[in-house]
Amino acid sequence: MLSSGVHLVSRKVWPIHSLIYSSSRSFMDLKTLLSSLNDFASLSFAESWDNVGLLVEPSPPHTVNTLFLTNDLTEEVMEEALQKKADLILSYHPPIFRPMKRITWKTWKERLVIRALENRVGIYSPHTAYDAAPQGVNSWLAKGLGACTSCPIHPSKAADYPTEGTHRVEFNINHTQDLDKVMSAVKGIADVSVTSFSARTDDEEHTRISLNCTQKALLQVVAFLSQNRQLYQKTEILSLEKPLLLHTGMGRLCTLDESVSLATIIERIKRHLKLSHVRLSLGIGRTLESQVRVVALCAGSGSSVLQGVEADLYLTGEMSHHDVLDAASQGINVILCEHSNTERGFLSDLRDMLGGHLDNKINIILSETDKDPLHVV
């Protein structure tokens, strides 16, 4: 920053071949593209604390010819995206995470928003939705281990309940005259679906009432049933759970088809991530020749996902000092590759997958300046 207040921005001139795209490509309306991106990997997969989806939207209508992929949206990456005529930036990490109270030229994240809006460039972030997706970041990271079977460490739940409502209420009615009165009353409550069937308990015929309802309707159902002591004492209330998704969720627990030495798995990981060095913590009693069969992995920062998981090896980008010590004390080896090094390589696969998913309607390009901020010296 000069004393006059003029801000200097380093600019890089990109080769001509980087700026030329196929004229056969067509445009996609932004809203249509966002819908297709959600079909590819639903934002409902994302963690509740995350900030995903469309973060910056130019005034509509907005069409997209070039989709620009990056792991982190820095000012240098933004400059590259603008020079390459991007219409939408897909930044794996959300550049806007904490709430902004103002948009000024003071901080680099505020400047990203300003430059995006000035140049009519949208910003979209999938983050943990892509972590959890079956074809997402963690599944890509697992490919570097060799032949293995894997499953999510923490499976995601479906976006919707398998039936209407969030609760199920069940009770018995013994007398026909009571049945009509009760059925009429509960059917009069909004957001309640009711079924009934004949049943026998202790050689006594009765009608079993089963109803599904929302949380709000449950209060009214309970209020009605509580007026009849006999009904209320025999009422069962069940809280319905959203079903778990088999191949979707945080982290991956991988079982190799064949055990290999720790030294071998290290080389596989370095080759997959295109790294010359990784950080290694040997578990107590382990050596480079110790066999590895089960690997628990989580792209990025994996401490919370990997904690307590039984495995021969933890693979992630970063963990706290004390979490590494805890793992080592249990005989678990830990490999740390730096946060974004466990994520960035996925973007090449993503470009190909999105190309097919979008029927090659738009240009999809990778950032050439995006890189992990840390390197070994």
Is pLDDT larger for residue 84 or for residue 178?
84
Whether 93 has a binding-site annotation, put simply, is: yes
For residue 162, is pLDDT > 90? Answer: no
Cα three-residue angle 323-346-351, rounded to 5 degrees: 160
**Rounded average pLDDT over 168-179:** 80
176 pLDDT band, cuts 50/70/90, is low
375 pLDDT band, cuts 50/70/90, is confident
Nearest Cα to Cα of residue 145 among 315, 333, 274: 315
Q: Which are the contacts of 346, defined by CB distance < 8 A and separation ≥ 6?
A: 92, 130, 136, 137, 140, 141, 299
Query: From CA 185, how far away is CA 171, in angstroms rounded?
Result: 14
For residue 298, is pLDDT > 70? Answer: yes
For residue 90, is pLDDT > 50? Answer: yes
Strand-strand pairing, 252-261 and 291-301: antiparallel
For residue 1, is pLDDT > 70? Answer: no
Task: Give the pLDDT of residue 25.
Answer: 61
**Quick count: other Cβ atoms within 10 Å of Cβ 204?**
9
Look-up of token digits 């107590």? 284
Window from 50-54, 119-123, 183-187 with minimum mean pLDDT: 183-187
Q: Which are the contacts of 357, defined by CB distance < 8 A and separation ≥ 6?
A: 36, 39, 40
* Long-range contacts at 225-229 (CB < 8 A, ≥ 24 apart): 225/169, 225/171
**What pLDDT, in 10s, does the model give residues 53-69?**
999 999 999 999 999 99
**What pLDDT, in 10s, does the model give residues 236-278?**
999 999 899 989 999 999 999 999 999 999 999 999 999 999 9
Round the average pLDDT of the chain to a whole number and report it. Answer: 91
Task: Give the pLDDT of residue 163.
Answer: 82
**Rounded average pLDDT over 76-103:** 97
**Quick count: other Cβ atoms within 10 Å of Cβ 25?**
14
For residue 224, is pLDDT > 80? Answer: yes
Query: From CA 25, how far away is CA 357, in angstroms rounded?
Result: 14
Query: From CA 297, how far away is CA 140, in angstroms rounded?
Result: 11
Query: What six digits make up the tokens of 124?
Result: 């979209």
Give yes or no for a contact between 81 and 70, defined as CB atoms under 8 angstroms apart.
Answer: yes
Tell me the range of 168-182, 229-243, 323-337 where mean pLDDT is highest.
Answer: 323-337
**What pLDDT, in 10s, does the model give residues 189-201?**
999 999 988 887 7
329 pLDDT band, cuts 50/70/90, is very high
Query: From CA 95, how far away is CA 253, in angstroms rounded?
Result: 29
Whether 343 has a binding-site annotation, put simply, is: yes
**Rounded average pLDDT over 66-73:** 98
Nearest Cα to Cα of residue 342 among 87, 139, 123: 139
* Helices 215-225 and 176-187, packing angle to 10 deg: 150
For residue 294, is pLDDT > 90? Answer: yes
Q: What is the DSSP string of 44-94?
A: GGS-TT---EEEE-PSSS-EESEEEEESS--HHHHHHHHHTT-SEEEESS-
**What pLDDT, in 10s, does the model give residues 136-156?**
999 999 999 999 999 999 999
**Rounded average pLDDT over 351-355:** 98
Q: Which are the contacts of 76, defined by CB distance < 8 A and separation ≥ 6?
A: 10, 12, 369
Number of Cα atoms under 13 Å in the Cβ half of residue 43: 16
Q: Which are the contacts of 177, defined by CB distance < 8 A and separation ≥ 6?
A: none
Task: Give the pLDDT of residue 26.
Answer: 81
**Rounded average pLDDT over 215-231:** 89
